[in-house]
Amino acid sequence: MKKVRVVNKKNLSTMIVGVVTIAIAIVVVCVFLYVSRPTEIDKLSQSYLDTVDVEKLQKKVETSFDGSYRLSDYLVYGETLSLYKDEYGTKKMDKMQGNNIVLRNVMNDAITSFTFNGKVDSGIDLGSLKEGIYELYTYDHYEKERIYFDDAFKAKTITTMRRNKKVKDITFVADKEALKEYDIHLKKNYTFIIVTKHIPKSNVYDVVIDPCGNAMNYISNTVDYGASTSILDEPTSSMEFAKKLKKELEEKGLKVKILRKENETPGYYGADGRPARGYKAKAKLYIALGASYDENVDAPYMMASPYTNSGLANTISYYMDQSGLTLYAARTNSTQENGVLYDSFAEDEKGEVKKYELYPQLRETGGRATYTGVYGDEMRNAKYKDAYGMYGLYFSYASAMNSQSVAYFNDNTDAIAKTLVKGIVRYFEI
């Protein structure tokens, strides 16, 4: 006969209480871990380095190298980081021109390469980098060498444009003690790029739009109303176009700010000038929308800084052509697409060409890359002479002296705005 085990009711109750207690404890721990987990807001104060496996980091980072390459300068234009052998602007051709810049993601050994051709939009494309910590190399006579600086520094954080509702904070540092808290001590001030992905801050914009016209001239203390005739009023038409463009850009997930109100007259210099407003917004792209007085201009055209490859304008021109839209048949050189021009340089009293371009919409918005705040009365912007530059684009949408040009713009405004945005999105890979 099979024996039947009799369970004491007291013991059974004790067991049940124990199980329930354990279950409650597990639930409490899980809830605590869930509640205390880092939120997207918490991550705003974190660096990628705060999340890495320290032991792996210590094993992967090289502390010394047989070959090293000294640099002296760097600058940021839009989302591009450019590196220089000598101080920027001191020589016609820097020794880094034509060099490959190689980035190694320390944690997974992934390699990314960029070629620097001397223009400020041809260096390291920061927007394309994935999260990680990168070592920087270049080639000197076909020998791979680690990049370093004599003087240690940690550059001001660079924030990229929004992509899929996220941005990346870029830290550029050259310091042999940059990783000392991880017990990593380097032989020289080797360079690193640290990329951290997170949600964007509300006060950081991607694009600023300057509706030209209604600009205060600080020398004469008068307002330059812009190209205004019986067939086109620049202050009004540029504002209407700016609103259309803003709407199209925002539909692509970008944060956009128009730099003046309807009846405002901010100029291009000073603490409340249009460039200053763009710098304060921490924008990466500055789009000026202006009209022309040239009666020969029968269609829109674009102007880029001569310190760039005019890559953005070329991309926009390509998509304008693909969409069947007409641009003014002009270009500065054969490397540019139709309707793309470089801004001209200023000349001194003797006719000698200076390094300062003429349009403040391009010169005063590119930070150190375009010599902001150091030309004549433009000293009013001296606060931003060493700033990270915004990528500048001047889009001339019509001529106020050509009825054919005005009619073409009025008939195709929506298509032009959509295609302009398409070019921007494709260039920056939004």
Asked whether residue 13 is assigned to any structural domain, the reply reads no
Determine what percent of the chain is predicted with pLDDT higher than 90: 80
* Same-domain pairing of 186 and 167: yes
* Same-domain pairing of 223 and 168: no
Domain that holds residue 157: 44-198
| Total domain count, the chain | 2
* Same-domain pairing of 318 and 385: yes
pLDDT mean over 257-268 = 95
The residue that leads in pLDDT, 276 or 376, is 276
- Strands laid side by side in the 391-399 sheet: 256-258, 207-211, 285-292, 391-399, 301-304, 340-342
**Which one, of 319, 345, 323, lies nearest residue 332 by Cα?**
345
The total of other beta-carbon atoms located within 10 Å of residue 306's CB is 17
Asked whether residue 144 is assigned to any structural domain, the reply reads yes
> Measured between alpha carbons, how far is 327 from 337 in angstroms, rounded to an integer?
10
Show the tokens assigned to 184. Answer: 């990593």
* Same-domain pairing of 193 and 323: no
pTM value is 0.89
Asked whether residue 378 is assigned to any structural domain, the reply reads yes
> Measured between alpha carbons, how far is 266 from 217 in angstroms, rounded to an integer?
9
Asked whether residue 15 is assigned to any structural domain, the reply reads no
Asked whether residue 36 is assigned to any structural domain, the reply reads no
The residue that leads in pLDDT, 124 or 10, is 124
pLDDT digits (tens, 9 = 90+) for 192-251: 999 999 999 999 999 999 999 999 988 888 999 999 999 999 999 999 999 999 999 999
pLDDT for residue 2 is more than 90: no
Tell me which of 167, 198, 229 is where a domain ends.
198
> Measured between alpha carbons, how far is 160 from 180 in angstroms, rounded to an integer?
27
- pLDDT for the residue 34: 53
